[in-house]
Amino acid sequence: MAQLNAIQKSLLENIADLHEVPSGAYNIRSDGGMLGRNTTANIDIVTKTDKPGIDIIIKPGTKNQSVHIPVLITQTGLKEMVYNEFFIGEDCDVVIVAGCGIHNAGDEGSEHSGIHTFHVGKNSKVKYVEKHYGTGEGTGERVMNPSTEIYMAEGSHLEMETIQIEGINSTERRTYAKVEDGASIVIKEKIMTHDRQVATTDFKAELVGTGSSADICSRSVAKDNSKQTFRSNIIGAAECKGHSECDAIIMDHAIVEAIPELTASNIDASLIHEAAIGKIAGEQLIKLMTLGLTEEEAEEQIITGFLK
Amino acid sequence: MLELKNVSYLVDDEDDGNRKEIIKNVSLTIEDGFVAITGPNGGGKSTLAKLIAGIYTPTGGQILFNNEDITNFSITERSKKGITFAFQQPVRFKGLTVKDLITIAAGGTLSFNDACGYLSEVGLCAKEYIDREINASLSGGELKRIEIAMAIARKTPLTIFDEPEAGIDLWSFQNLIHVFENIHDKAGGSIIIISHQERILNIADKILVLAGGEIQAYGPKEEVLPGLLKGTMTNPALEQDESLECPTLLGKMK
């Protein structure tokens, strides 16, 4: 495959903790084209023919394997819409690392919108990590709009981790999950926004199977004049357990909206939501200052810990 | 050595808007060794400790630490000069672990063995606690012990404990006293302990009785303690309960 340049390497490090080309199956998309791909005996990656994107097909019984599908954008003004579809067979145990890094050195907006669809087979276990990161000295906006649709067959388990710490001017995240008998989904979101950034997240989980569960946990820090909106809707249509939690630190002149919603249509659905917004407690700062940190260091320590 | 010269602290009363004097023209010198500060609730003990730690700034007077005027020093500057303050009500942090805080307290680096040492001094098993978050999953007693472990890790010439015995559960007083002796042996310097407990006053070299924002008595334990015990001095808050042999039970009964 083509050699990675320094900017691509740095983006890759930030979104996938990768220092080189990953081992196992991968597909690296860069500026709208394919930079590299590797398939394995159990994991196939096929380019879609009807629209931009790829199909990732994981054979039943695949265990302890990983797929990396990072997207890199280094071209100012590039706008793309990508459809990636994951077909995960029964009894798998896999790790999927996606993520998008934008380096925008120009003054035109760069934008990546991705629709990821997961079909998780019976009794399969999936860990899905998605990191978003933006950088570049240009004035061009860096925009990402990830959509995720997850269909979980009986007894399957998916843990999704989404992280957006830096550099994305505007993001709108939509996540939908349909959870069948005995299946469970855990979603952990971490977001930090600054300057005039805007981030909206919208989670919807439909618990349709007996013994299904959903656990949505969002931790965020809103700085400067940024704005965050958190929406979650857990629908309990069976004997199920649902929990959503949104915990936000608000700073400066930021705005944080939390709109948790619960809908139960079955007497045995047990649903809980928690939402909290608050500034860093003064006593937390004071405690760390009595241990020798400056106020700025204390603040940084508290935020880093909170988003860890 | 810590010196307070005519230190006053006035605040606006929230109820009537009048100026209220919490600390009234207090002057005293604290040399190396243990000093226990006692007195009735609301007498100004915690305020005095916070003035020393820099959390409050005096409205009048001067504070000198090792002959340097630190009156206008920030909390951070005082901390770096060697003043440690263990809170009465430890603070919870979502996401920060016991290891994170003890590492900061130790000055930035911490080996597992050191962490183990600090935690075992307060009766906690490092393996079990080192990666725990300082959040609502820890009991008040556990937090209090971690607060004390941080003070041990700091090893500074002046350590102030605000009611270290409050909320300590499932742990004996004897151990707490042992901790103070250890800190003194290792770091030397001064230890100031705000306490109502007779057994803590008993290990002090000097006792300061503070009531109504003023010094009622300050002198060697041998001179001050008998008066407190006889009740000739105003100190309704002093607890002389013999059942202190078993602070756990006492704590549970309260």
Tell how strand A184-193 and strand B68-69 pair up: unpaired
Beta-strand (E) ranges in chain A?
25-30, 33-38, 43-47, 53-58, 63-68, 71-73, 79-88, 93-103, 110-120, 125-135, 142-152, 157-166, 170-179, 184-193, 198-207, 212-222, 227-236, 240-250, 255-264, 269-278
pLDDT at B7: 96
**Residue B239 above 80 pLDDT?**
no
Instruction: Using CA coordinates, name the residue in chain B closest to A284.
Output: B91
Burial class (CB in 10 A: 0-12, 13-18, 19+), B125: exposed
Residue B250 has pLDDT above 60, yes or no: no
Q: What is the pLDDT of residues A146-190, one digit of tens each?
A: 999 999 999 999 999 999 987 889 999 999 999 999 999 999 999
Q: Does B85 touch chain A (CB under 8 A)?
A: yes
Average pLDDT, chain A: 93
The DSSP code sequence of A236-266 is E-SSEEEEEEEEEEE-TT-EEEEEEEEEE-S
**Beta-carbon separation of B93 and A290 below 8 A:** no
pLDDT single digits (tens) A270-288? 999 999 999 999 999 999 9
Q: Average the pLDDT over B23-37 and give the result.
A: 94
Instruction: List the single best residue of A188, A245, A280, A290 to mutate versus B (max B Cβ within 10 A).
Output: A290
Residue B80 touches partner A, C-beta closer than 8 Å:
yes
What predicted TM-score, i.e. pTM, was given to this entire model?
A: 0.84
CA distance A151 to chain B (A): 31
Mean pLDDT of A38-57: 95
The angle at the Cα of A304, spanning A95 to B53, to the nearest 5 degrees, equals 155
Task: Give the confidence band of A133 by pLDDT, cuts at 50, 70, 90.
Answer: confident
Could you tell me if B67 lies within 8 Å of chain A, comparing CB atoms? no
pLDDT value of residue A108: 87
Tell me the H-state helices in B94-172. Answer: 98-105, 112-121, 126-129, 140-154
- Chain A residues whose CB is inside 8 A of the B75 CB are 286, 289-290
pLDDT category of residue A135 using cuts at 50, 70 and 90: confident
Instruction: Provide the pLDDT for residue B35.
Output: 95
CB contact under 8 A, B76 and A305: no
In Å, how far is A287's CA from the nearest CA of chain B? Answer: 7
SS3 (DSSP) at B3: strand
Q: What is the CATH number of the domain that holds B81?
A: 3.40.50.300
pLDDT attached to residue B245: 36
Q: How many CB atoms lie within 10 A of CB A56?
A: 23
Tokens of B23: 């600390």
Are the Cβ atoms of A295 and B76 closer than 8 angstroms?
Answer: yes
Size of interface A-B (CB pairs under 8 A): 57
Confidence of residue B246 (pLDDT cuts 50, 70, 90): very low
- For A221, the 3-state DSSP assignment is strand
DSSP code of residue A280 = P
Does residue B242 carry a pLDDT above 70? no
Number of folded domains that form chain B = 1
CB A147 within 8 A of CB A112: no
pLDDT by residue (tens digit) across A226-267? 999 999 999 999 999 999 999 999 999 999 999 999 999 999
- Collect all residues of chain B within an 8 Å Cβ-Cβ radius of residue A286: 55, 75, 91
The residue-averaged pLDDT of A209-238 equals 97
Question: What do you get for the CA distance between the two ends of chain A, in Å?
Answer: 34
Whether B158 and chain A come into contact, CB under 8 Å, resolves to no
Identify all chain B residues contacting A300, using CB atoms and an 8 Å cutoff: none
ipTM: 0.89
Query: What distance in Å separates the CA atoms of residue B48 and residue B4, rounded to the nearest whole number?
Result: 10
Q: Of the candidates B213, B212, B217, which has an alpha carbon nearest to the alpha carbon of residue B204?
A: B217
Kindly state the tokens that stand for B108. 């930035």
